[in-house]
Amino acid sequence: MEQYVVKGGNPLVGEVEIGGAKNAALAILSAAVMTDETVTIENIPNVRDINVLLNAIQEIGAMVERVDAHTVKMNGSFIRDFNVDNEYIRKIRASYYLIGALLGKYKKAEVALPGGCNIGSRPINLHLKGFQALGATVDIRHGLVIASAERLVGTHIYLDKISVGATINIMMAAAKAEGKTIIENAAKEPHVVDVANFLNSMGANIRGAGTDVIRIVGVERLHKTEYSIIPDQIEAGTFMMAAAATKGDIMVKNVIPKHLESISAKLLEIGCEVEEFDDAVRVVSARRLRHTQVTTLPYPGFPTDMQPQMAVVLGLARGTSTVTESIFENRFKYVDELTRMGASIKVESNIAIIDGIKNYTGARVNAPDLRAGAALVIAGLAAEGITVVDDIYYIERGYEEFEHKLAGLGALIEKVSTEKEIQKFTLKVS
């Protein structure tokens, strides 16, 4: 098992390049199987969840060629098997996008029920209701979602709850249904728009992505395309929080500042300087920050995927802050770990009440999930002394070269796998 070992206390200073959006790439790579022509996709982050998905796509017969670390060529004409199941795909969430993609194209899909980060119960009832509304029969048997249809026919779908996954999945299946589908109460996240743009570049007819009503007119055929994925809003936000927590000065490059507005607004409110450029955001944190209230909400609200990183920053701010998690029911598992580093946080139902302290102190902690893991690394970078973050497997699901990017900003961080290496690092930095 690998760990990150961190010596905190250095302000992070410098420039960092943000990669492509993981959650957009997972959907776009799935959608790419929907044409029989060759699709080229650029700016794919080279992270574990993406590699698991690409392997699964290859296993069902598609041609997947890794042109370089961030570019893939794919041809779905060779797919002969509609059963997607292996021990790795069962652990990722985005496997569900292959249901929409295969059902749309072949009117048939058998995909392992999705896993993913353990942040509460994560049903996919809205995805399945959407497929059924389009005319599919959906069963769950032996751990597989089995969906099939004679024909898919466009319809009017109202999502009871705003869901990124369900919006994208229904959009993919409807792109090849007969006639018009309207999705109401749709998610508006930047990656919903990116997937719609990608499908449209293959010849789909999707309008309104980015608003809460998406209109799709099904087409018979999708064709080849070349497409570059948008920058990762959450990776960018994570580095913005790293600047805030370590009293640093970071230029976060290759981003779309509009996608970061809710994050920038909170950082400004608590006393950071945030400067926007065309494709970069600079965050400077020169003094002790102020407390605030944050509630996670669907886009354009404050993202749930930034909640743990924000809490780490507020843990060091003056006064009492609250962080309300309104999307997932169990996304405070990092609080016990952060408490080991000295944080003063009480969780009541879905609200974390945070009394800011002056300094975290290094400790041995576990990454409970992807974003919480990144948040604990940030806490370690701000802390006095040495922090060891275990279970970094989670972090590697979604952050490419995390430790190298941080080291480029002056962080003292190493990936290690033995106690001996931890001791060696400790001796080196002390």
- Nearest residue (CB) to ligand EPZ, 21 versus 412: 21
Span 377-396, contacts to ligand EPZ by CB under 6 A: none
| Binding-site member from 7, 90, 93, 105 for ligand EPZ (CB under 6 A) | 93
Return the number of the residue (45 or 342) whose C-beta is nearest ligand EPZ.
45
Residues 8-47, one symbol each (x = binds ligand EPZ by CB under 6 A, - = not), give ---------------x--x---------------------
| Cβ atoms of residues 105 and 77 within 8 Å | no
Judged by CB, which is closer to ligand EPZ: 33, or 251? Answer: 33
Interface with ligand EPZ includes 117 (CB under 6 A)?
yes
> Using CB under 6 A, which of the segments 115-123, 206-214, 257-265, 316-324 binds ligand EPZ?
115-123
Q: Which is nearer to ligand EPZ, 302 or 360 (CB)?
A: 302
Contact call for residue 125 and ligand EPZ (CB under 6 A): yes
CB of residue 278 to ligand EPZ, shortest distance in Å:
26
> Among residues 304, 307, 366, 387, which is the contact residue for ligand EPZ, using CB under 6 A?
304
Q: Is 414 in the site for ligand EPZ (CB under 6 A)?
A: no
Give the CA angle between residues 361, 364, 369 to the nearest 5°: 110
- Residue among 368, 369, 338, 376 nearest 355 (CA): 338
What single letter denotes the amino acid at residue 367?
A
Q: Does 95 bind ligand EPZ (CB under 6 A)?
A: no
CB-nearer residue toward ligand EPZ: 19 or 398 = 398
Q: Binding marks (x or -) toward ligand EPZ, 136..165, rule CB under 6 A?
A: -------------------------x-xxx
Round to whole Å and give the CA distance between 245 and 257: 20
Contact pick of 81, 86, 123, 184 for ligand EPZ (by CB under 6 A): 123
Q: Which residues are catalytic?
A: 117
Residue 169 to residue 182: CA distance in whole angstroms:
13
- What lies within 8 Å, CB to CB, of 288 at 6+ separation is 271, 316, 317, 318, 358
How many residues of this chain bind ligand EPZ (CB under 6 A)?
Answer: 24
Stretch binding ligand EPZ (CB under 6 A), from 54-62, 119-127, 287-295, 310-318? 119-127
Within 93-136, residue ranges assigned H as helices are: 97-106, 125-133
Write out the binding residues for ligand EPZ, residues 175-234 only, by CB under 6 A. 187
Locus of tokens 């990936």: 415
- Distance in Å, CB of 120 to ligand EPZ, minimum: 7
Q: What is the CA radius of gyration of the chain?
A: 22
| Residue 366 DSSP code | E
Q: What CA–CA distance (Å, rounded) separates 292 from 302? A: 13
Cβ atoms within 10 Å, residue 275: 12
DSSP letter for each residue of 308-365: HHHHHHHTTSBSEEEEE--S-S---THHHHHHHTT-EEEEETTEEEEE--S--B--EE
In the complex with ligand EPZ, the residue whose CB is nearer, 117 or 281, is: 117
The single residue listed with the structure tokens 């570019």 is 71
**Alpha helices by DSSP H, 202-295:** 233-245, 261-269
Read off the tokens for 379: 């806490």
Q: Is residue 91 a contact residue for ligand EPZ (CB under 6 A)?
A: no
> Which one, 124 or 263, has the nearer CB to ligand EPZ?
124
Binding interface with ligand EPZ (CB under 6 A): 23, 26, 93-94, 117, 122-127, 161, 163-166, 187, 304-305, 327-328, 370-371, 398
